[in-house]
Structure 1
Amino acid sequence: MKIPGFIKRNLLLKMTSLNAGVIGIRLFISLFIQRLLAEMVGEAGVAKIGSLRNLLEMLGSFTSVGVFTGVVKYVAEYKDDKDQLQKLFSTTLVFTIIGVFTVAAVLFFGAGYLSETIFDSLKYEYLIKLLAVVVPFIAMYRIFKAVINGLSRYKVLAKIEIISYILSSALTVALLLIHNLDGALIAIAITPVVQLLALLFIMTSILREYVQFSKLSFKIPMAKSLLAFSLMSFFSTVLLNYVELDIRVMVTNRLSEVDAGIWTAMTNISKNYMVFSSAIFSLYVLPKFAGIYTKTDFKVELANIYKTLMPLFGVGMLLVYFLRDYVIQIIYPDFYAMSPLFKWQLLGDFVRLAALILGYQFLAKKMVRNFIFSEIISLSLFYGFSYYFVEIYGVEGVVIAHFLRYVLYFLLVSYLVFRYFKNNNNSTKKDSVA
């Protein structure tokens, strides 16, 4: 099947169309797995699986010391400069070794405490210790994936995503059928191993072309540059997942574990279509914004991204909303309490997409203080609104909080991004006068 000419001429549309195929396959498999999970483990089990996924997201940042975005940015900038790449990967190696050993030790020796805190039971201590063994695979997968993103090898990334998702899904189904909830949790915990093996099978030759493994040294010449991204990753990934975990515990304590499972199921559906955007951000938006230095060029590119992505997402979200009862019936039978949550979740996700596109300017220009400030405000709003609205609207209060949080976040990010260009423009004028 040939790609239409207007898509070929637009790199963003080309990436989006390829990504759509990947997401379509993922979505089809995900529908089957999520329904199976809903039927076999119920709302309480879905809540526990959601907590494990939050923990894995946090580990992805901790084990690589949060340098994913930094590696994407600098690989995109230095892909033709072997010396700079060696400095980048040597620094990344040291950071990753420190991160892996630290996280593995905390998981292994703190397994009991973490099991009690996250799952409200000591039963899952074995699962935390299993994660301690898996953390090197999590770190290596994150770093190597960052290299692919930085090189904008979106076709290679699509192939890796498909193969690893099919294999990990098959593993999840097999262990779920054999060991029920424990089997599903174990499968999810070891998914990073499957992902890394799939990645290495497909792109070992590409990695060798850009990463001279034999010449890597235990030096950190780019430590300062990467630490800025580590700090930003801590706030965007670690704190976000910590807040989600805390809100799930709050909903469980103030309402019930069933309500926590209902909200987790809603976020699972949200993540299935929002994952469509994540690859586009890393492969296209970040490298593009990194090379833009004037307000005019930025506005042109922003308008191009908005007019390409926002209508696609808008139509998709409208379809999800009007077909929500069928979606629930297909994916989460008997989770009918989810229906009122769709409106606020979808509205929030639409505004979130617009805000995140703008917010990638913080990463592209390493605007650390602006990024951290906006993330702290965003997460504080989410938790504060959730705590307040749960008392009034029950579990629906969490998705109302989600919507309000992103409306305010969008306004804040818009102000900070355009203030950056205004300040830069003023500085340039002063320099030229001088």
Structure 2
Amino acid sequence: MTMEKLRTNKMKKKIIEIYHSKTRIDVQWAFFSLLSAGLTYIVLRIIIGKNLGVSGLGIYTIVYMIYQFGIQFSNFGFGSALTKYIAENYDDKSLIQKKISAGIVGSIISGLIFSILLFIMSPIISNNVFNTPEMNPLLIITSFCFPFISLQLAVLGIFNGFRQMKSFASLNIVLNVFIIFLSIYFVNICNLSLFGAVLGYAIPTCIIGGLSPLLLSKEFTFKRSLFEVSVLKTMSIFGFFFILSTSASFLNTQVGTFLIGYFLTPIEVGIYSVAITISQILIIFPSAIQRITTPDIANLYRKKSETKIRKYFFRSMSYSLIACLIIGIIIILMGDWLILNLFSEEFLPAKKYMIYLIIGNVIFSPVISVGSCFFSMNKFTVPYRINIISFFLMLLLNFILIPSLGIFGAVISTITLQIVLLFIYFAMIWIYTAEE
């Protein structure tokens, strides 16, 4: 072997080592970001559960579910579109600037539309759907968050596309810490009850979301001269399929809570909420991996490396399954202690539901780690079709099982769907990563 080949191989090895080192660091930052979100989710429920009881937690859970609905959809997929197009066109500075300008405009417009819709529909949701009139002012407050949520999601999408995961994580962590402290202040110190709990996430969301564009480099921020309607249309098409897919996926996770609130009472919603809260600790790790797999697979797909994509898929899924299995066993063993110390004795009935939900999340964790990667491969309709079918299956199962089995009906529906989706995703990955 010549000296030139040795130097070339050494250089390649060094590049691979640097890349994998950056990947590990990026996964760590994504993990910290999602950990802060997960802890916020848990802490808020502990605060509400201890101060307002099972019924108060049930009402708050429904309102917060609608807030999360806004986090998922008010951006209309522009944040994810920015991640994809930036990763695909990393070397084309001019095109990236056009995408960013269009993405920010689209995010603001979609956020405003979503805000107006919730503001108008708040009385209907409160009085006609949940028969809980006190929910109306809480939903009105929540509606003002969506333009700011949408703007922040666009900024996060830009950070993710450039693999600036430290900035991505820092923005999320600051928001979540702000929410925790303000919620504690309003609920525990000011005794503002549910009103204070909602203000606790609404005020930080508006402030941090409104200021988030200031974190962008001047080189990669909104420029009016670079805004093109044609680029906005292209990103809107991606966003349309993305929002259809994620809406069905999100509703799959929330439909149980929604229908328990519809068929049963806020008390059952509160118990089910505790079971979900603890079981969802598991999904933090695979969700962190997904933040990295999405831009990486977009880059591999651009290079037409189908074999590498398949290996990347299954390696990511294997890591997620092993990690979640270990974490799941630990959480189950600590179940009683967690419920008693984080909540109170009245929430102990949640333990049996928690165990089954943990088993389901362990099974489903490989899918979470690569869930949005079909979008990275321009296969927009694949997750959309899967999630639409799964949503109707989930809805049917819950409508059949919740009236007769109560909370356990929602649990059975969730686990059944997770097993079905695991096999479907395995098959789709195998098909779409085959060499042509």
Q: TM-score, normalised by structure 2?
A: 0.85
Give deviations 1:65-84, integer Å, cap 9, x for gaps. Answer: 22221111112222432221
Q: Which moved more, 1:387-396 or 1:148-157?
A: 387-396
Structure 2 residue identity aligned to 1:224: T
1:267 corresponds to which residue? 276
SS at match of 1:220: helix
Q: Which residue of 1 aligns with 2:263?
A: 254
Kindly indicate whether the alpha-carbon contact (under 8 Å) linking 1:94 and 1:218 is maintained by their aligned counterparts in 2: no
In structure 1, the partner of 2:322 is 311
Q: Which runs of 5+ in 1 are unaligned?
A: 1-5, 429-434
Question: Which of residues 290, 309, 329 in structure 1 aligns to 2:298?
Answer: 290
What is the CA–CA distance in structure 2 between the aligned matches of 1:31 and 1:360, rounded to whole Å? 25
2:218 equivalent among 184, 194, 208: 208
Match of 1:134 among 131, 141, 145: 145
Give yes or no for the alignment of 1:369 onto 2:377: no
- Taking the aligned partners of 1:54 and 1:189, their CA distance within structure 2 comes to 13
1:356 aligns with 2:368: yes
1:180 is matched by which residue type in structure 2? Answer: S
User: TM-score when scaled to structure 1?
Assistant: 0.85
Give the 3 Å change call, closer, same or farther, for CA 415–368 of structure 1 in structure 2. same
1:327 and 2:338 are equivalent in the alignment: yes
Deviation at 1:320, TM superposition (A): 0.5
User: Aligned equivalents of 2:153 and 2:162: distance in 1?
Assistant: 14
Mapping of residues 402-421 of structure 1, within 5 Å? 402-421=414-433
Q: Per-residue deviation at 1:305? A: 1.7
Of 396-405 and 111-120, more deviation after overlay is shown by 111-120
**Which of 190, 193, 203 is the matching residue for 1:180?**
193
| Aligned partner (choices 134, 139, 164) of residue 123 of structure 1 | 134
Which structure 2 residues correspond to residues 179-258 of structure 1 after superposition, within 5 A? 179-196=192-209, 199=212, 204=214, 206-217=216-227, 219-236=229-246, 238-242=247-251, 246-258=255-267
Match of 2:12 in 1: none
Distance (whole Å) between structure 1 residues aligned to residue 348 and residue 94 of structure 2: 57
> 184-193 vs 16-25, which deviates more?
16-25
Pair 249,163 (structure 1): closer, same or farther in 2 beyond 3 Å: closer
What does the per-residue CA deviation read over 1:169-207, in whole Å, with 9 as the maximum and x for residues that have no partner?
11111111220122102222334224326745xxx3543
TM-aligned CA distance change 1:198 to 1:363, over 3 Å: same
Are 2:276 and 2:354, in contact at CA under 8 Å, matched by a contact in 1? Answer: no
1:255–1:278 Cα change, 3 Å: same
SS in 1 for 2:77: coil
Distance 1:19 1:330, change over 3 A: farther
CA distance in 1, matches of 2:204, 2:250: 18
Deviations 1:136-191 (A, max 9, x none): 21111111111111111112222223222111111111111220122102222334
Three-state SS of the structure 1 residue aligned to 2:371 is helix
Mapped to 2, the partners of 1:8 and 1:331 lie a distance apart of 40
Q: 1:432: which partner in 2? A: none
Distance in 2, matches of 1:305 and 1:7, equals 19
Which shows bigger deviation, 377-386 or 139-148? 377-386
- Post-superposition offset of 1:10: 4.5
Which secondary structure does the structure 1 equivalent of 2:76 belong to? coil
Q: Residue type matched to 1:319 in 2?
A: I
Structure 1: how far apart are the matches of 2:85 and 2:19? 27
Describe the superposition over 1:376-407 as per-residue Cα deviations: whole angstroms up to 9, x where unpaired: 12222322223333345431221222111011
Structure 1 residues 143 and 399, CA gap change in structure 2 (3 angstroms): same
- Note if contact 1:163-1:198 (Cα within 8 Å) is conserved in structure 2: no
Could you tell me which amino acid in structure 1 is paired with residue 296 of structure 2?
Answer: K
CA contact (8 A) 2:84 2:298 kept: yes
User: Where does residue 87 of structure 1 map in the other structure?
Assistant: 98
Out of 405-414 and 123-132, give the one that drifted further.
123-132
**Any conservation in 2 of the 1:57–1:241 contact (CA below 8 Å)?**
no
Q: Partner residue of 2:5?
A: none
Q: Which moved more, 1:209-218 or 1:351-360?
A: 209-218
Q: Is the 8 A contact 1:115 1:121 kept in 2?
A: yes
Equivalenced residue count is 414
> What amino acid maps onto 1:211 in structure 2?
T
Q: Using the TM superposition, give the Cα deviation of residue 363 of structure 1 relative to its aligned residue in structure 2, in angstroms.
A: 1.4
Q: Deviations over 1:213-239 (max 9, x none)?
A: 353436232523441333222331x34
Equivalent residue, structure 2, for 1:48: 59
Hey, what does 1:77 align to over in structure 2? 88
CA 1:127 to 1:27, structure 2 compared with 1: closer, same or farther past 3 Å? Answer: closer
Identity among equivalent pairs (%): 16
- Deviation digits for residues 229-288 of structure 1 (CA, Å, limit 9, x no counterpart): 33222331x344455555334323434321121112222223344234334312x11011
Which of 283, 287, 295 is the equivalent residue of 1:278? 287
Whether contact under 8 Å (2:115, 2:146) holds in the other structure is yes
Structure 1 contact 252–260 (Cα < 8 Å) conserved = yes
Match of 2:76 among 65, 68, 72: 65
**CA 1:242 to 1:48, structure 2 compared with 1: closer, same or farther past 3 Å?**
farther
| Contact kept? 1:68, 1:142, Cα under 8 Å | yes
Q: Where in structure 2 are the equivalents of 1:164-179 lying within 5 Å?
A: 164-177=175-188, 178=190, 179=192
Q: Secondary structure at the match of 2:217?
A: helix
**How far apart are the structure 1 equivalents of 2:46 and 2:232?**
46
Contact 1:63 1:100 in 2 (8 A): yes
Any stretches of 5+ residues in structure 2 without a counterpart? 1-16
